[in-house]
Amino acid sequence: MAVALHSLRFKNPGAPVLVVLHGLLGSSRNWSTIGRTLQDRFDVHVLDLRNHGSSPHSDAMRWSEMCEDLQAYLDLHELESIELMGHSLGGKVAMRYACERPEVVERLVIVDIAAKPYPPYHDNEFRAMKRIPVAELANRKEAEELLEPMVPDWALRQFLLTNLVRDEASGTFRWQVNLEALHSSLPHIRQNSLLETDHYEGPVLLVRGANSDFIDDDDANEMLHWFPYLREEIVLDAGHNVHVENRKGFVAVLDEWL
């Protein structure tokens, strides 16, 4: 059953619609700067996937259900034709949706994720987050100190802490994401979201961070099986979070292609 996805909208009525899907443990807030940057050319809708941000929680994270969430959002806003961009987990959802509804997706942008199964990742981060007694925290600094032994990378800690919010009613901290559901879904969402029979013949841009280990040199060629009109662009001085680590380079690639 579809859930009603929350979104940030950067309005430009009458312009082509661009829908953006974030990655695992991200949210629409992570893409707000990009949304504002592209607002002069697009009517931008940046969505929170289920179990993320301000969208509803659910025990299920199957590809079909996340595609249904997206379709329900488009139906609600009467959007019949879109440009679709997805990063990481959002990229997997975007690929699957474009193959299922090619008549809706005019163009597809996949950001630093490939159509392939991935080895286990993020398990350590989930375990670290679950260990923190968030309701007992006095401040965010205390949360960072508790995370540091298991998550020594400063930038990664800051990213994880974007999910820590203070409950308005009780005044205590809580994780905004559905940690349990996402953690238990890792074995599924690390798999390829596409079936062998899936196919999308629209224009596809694969944006790769030069320093990222999420995409290998032969991945773009392998993805031609599903996306025959795929083009790869590499953004220098950026890892997996291309849109954050080299925002200028990322936007330049989008400007040229979009």
* Catalytic annotation, residues: 88, 180, 240
Residue closest to 177 by CA, chosen among 54, 3, 12: 54
| Helix 123-131 with 179-189: angle, nearest 10 deg | 170
Residue 153: burial class (beta carbons within 10 Å; 0-12, 13-18, 19+): exposed
Rounded CA separation 217/222 (Å): 10
* Angle, CA of 206, 237 and 161, to the nearest 5°: 85
> In this structure, how many other beta carbons lie within 10 angstroms of the beta carbon of residue 71?
16
| Beta carbons of 133 and 145 less than 8 angstroms apart | no
Q: Say if residues 44 and 18 touch (Cβ distance below 8 Å).
A: yes
CB 110 within 8 A of CB 86: yes
| Angle at 144 (CA atoms; ends 139, 145), nearest 5 degrees | 100
Q: What is the rounded distance in angstroms from the CA atom of residue 88 to the CA atom of residue 240?
A: 8
